[in-house]
Amino acid sequence: MMELPATRAGHIGRALSATAILLFLAMPIVIILVTSFGADGIGTFPPKEYSTRWYEQIAAPGSDWATSIALSSLIAALTTVFSLILGVTAATALARGRLPLHAAVYGLVLAPMLIPQVVIALGLFLFFEPAGMLGSPLAIALGHTVLAAPIAVLIMISTLKGIDERLEDAAASMGASRMTIARRITFPLATPGLIAAAVFSFITSFDEFFIAQFLSTPDTRTLPVLVFNALQFDVDPTVTAVSAVLIALAILALALVAAVRKLGGHRNSQGGVLPVEPLT
């Protein structure tokens, strides 16, 4: 099929369209970032005066914001650990094993991504409330794992399928045990995927609202719950600073994943991941 030559007007039109779309998508982020440095207590855009007072309130020791950030970080860290354990285990079984009813098991693992979060949150509330675990960081972390684990499974399945199984077969034929193969070959090659799964699990937990709302108490409020409470009856400009911090966290997380994947691809192409000494 003959391709029509691109015209100068076509190049300009595509560039203008792409620029307009990017500006439209970035506009809410830019507004939040600029407003977070406003000095007034209303949260107007654009601000008449600029200040860092709302960021200082977030970082103030003993403030509700600092406490919620610490709690959300703890819960997200626990969720990351649980999600990696479940993600690696389930992904290995789905990508390398021969499970009966493979499609049904795969669908069951990914079901939490399709079910509305409020439904999952209600079910978790009915499960943990009789046990007296409402407000427990462990209970909230387990609830967040329901949402984060499927993401980790998807990432790890893609990662494991990208690893040449002949490397593992070669190590096995030389007498290496399954644990040695996993420790010396599979996990080093899967490191970019593991880091990506950990980052996305952490972000999923840190930003989650519905489960935290159902399982929290007045003494244990995660950051999204505190943001919702701050906006429920009034406009608190501190929320814009919190939102800016969350935006920065998401950008840093994506940059980390991209850097690790690029480094992992470079090392794999150079053969620097596999050990050169005997597998014992």
In tens, the pLDDT along 37-58 reads 877 766 667 777 777 877 887 8
Taking a C-beta distance cutoff of 8 angstroms, is the pair 240, 36 a contact?
Answer: yes
The pLDDT of residue 11 is: 77
Tens digit of pLDDT for each residue in 24-36? Answer: 888 888 888 888 7
Give me the mean pLDDT over the 205-234 stretch.
Answer: 87
The pLDDT of residue 81 is: 95
Ramachandran angles phi, psi of 86, nearest 5°: -70, -40
User: Does pLDDT of 69 surpass 80?
Assistant: yes
Q: How confident is the model at residue 167 (pLDDT cuts 50, 70, 90)?
A: confident
* Dihedral angle computed from the Cα positions of residues 241, 244, 245 and 250, in that order, rounded to the nearest 10 degrees: 160
Query: Taking the CA atoms of the chain, what radius of gyration do you get in angstroms?
Result: 23
User: Does pLDDT of 201 surpass 90?
Assistant: yes
Ramachandran angles phi, psi of 217, nearest 5°: -125, 170
The winner for highest mean pLDDT among 22-31, 159-168, 169-178 is: 22-31
The pLDDT of residue 276 is: 39
User: Does pLDDT of 9 surpass 80?
Assistant: no
User: Does pLDDT of 131 surpass 50?
Assistant: yes
**Is the bond preceding 46 in cis, omega lying within 30 degrees of 0?**
yes
The CA–CA distances, whole Å, from 169 to 58, 174, 226 equal 53, 9, 52
User: Does pLDDT of 4 surpass 50?
Assistant: no
Q: How confident is the model at residue 235 (pLDDT cuts 50, 70, 90)?
A: confident
Taking a C-beta distance cutoff of 8 angstroms, is the pair 161, 95 a contact?
Answer: yes
The domains found in the chain, sorted by start residue, are 69-270 (1.10.3720.10)
Q: How confident is the model at residue 1 (pLDDT cuts 50, 70, 90)?
A: very low
Give me the mean pLDDT over the 175-204 stretch.
Answer: 84
